[in-house]
């Protein structure tokens, strides 16, 4: 399939809702290694208690006609290099949203709001400090 750059628009419009962009960003971020989960607010927690999967959880989106700014709140695995995880999220989210929507992503802000610590990690560290 060829794309033609000289096609004249006929006044048709496509509007992609901020919720759809949030879902794309959330799925992209969830696939990054060492991301435990995205962290949402009260309504996201309520939706998950009701058994609904909310792929846009922890994602805020602001759009203009041709641009999007995205903010994600994440929880990472203990021991990972947080700055590398955040950079990977930024790259993957930007790529996914731009490829799927043709919007220019002007910003991907990553807020790390928690660290997931496995029980084995805690037990192992407690054992070492007690020796």
pLDDT of residue 113: 94
The answer for residues whose C-beta is within 8 angstroms of residue 27's C-beta and 6 or more apart is 55, 96
From first to last of its 131 residues, the chain has per-residue pLDDT tens of 455 455 556 888 889 999 999 999 999 999 999 999 998 754 444 445 455 567 888 999 999 989 999 999 999 999 999 999 999 999 999 999 999 999 999 999 999 999 999 876 565 565 454 54
Tokens coding 111: 């807020």
Note whether residue 77 is domain-resident.
Answer: yes
Note whether residue 9 is domain-resident.
Answer: no
Note whether residue 27 is domain-resident.
Answer: yes
Note whether residue 6 is domain-resident.
Answer: no
Note whether residue 51 is domain-resident.
Answer: yes
pLDDT of residue 56: 87
**Which range marks the domain in which residue 119 is found?**
18-130
The answer for residues whose C-beta is within 8 angstroms of residue 104's C-beta and 6 or more apart is 66, 67, 68, 98
Number of structural domains (the chain) is 1
Bridge partners of 116?
A: 77
Q: Could you tell me the pTM of the whole model?
A: 0.76
Note whether residue 65 is domain-resident.
Answer: yes
**Three-point CA angle 11, 16, 20, nearest 5°:** 170
CA distance 126 to 92: 36
pLDDT of residue 44: 47
Q: Which stretch of DSSP H or E encloses residue 42? A: helix 42-49
Q: Say how far residue 49 (Cα) sits from the centre of its chain.
A: 21
Note whether residue 73 is domain-resident.
Answer: yes
pLDDT of residue 42: 43
Note whether residue 13 is domain-resident.
Answer: no
């Amino acid at each position: 399939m060829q794309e033609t750059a000289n096609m004249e628009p006929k006044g048709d419009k496509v509007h992609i809702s901020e919720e759809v962009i949030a879902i794309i960003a959330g799925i992209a971020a969830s696939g990054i290694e060492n991301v435990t989960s995205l962290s949402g607010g009260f309504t996201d927690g309520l939706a998950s208690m009701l058994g609904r999967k909310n792929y846009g959880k922890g994602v805020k989106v602001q759009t203009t006609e041709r641009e999007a700014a995205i903010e994600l709140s994440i929880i990472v695995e203990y021991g990972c290099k947080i700055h590398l995880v955040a950079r990977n999220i930024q790259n993957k989210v930007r790529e996914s949203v731009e490829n799927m929507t043709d919007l220019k992503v002007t910003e991907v802000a990553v807020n790390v709001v928690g660290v997931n610590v496995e029980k084995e990690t805690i037990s192992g560290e407690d054992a070492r400090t007690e020796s």
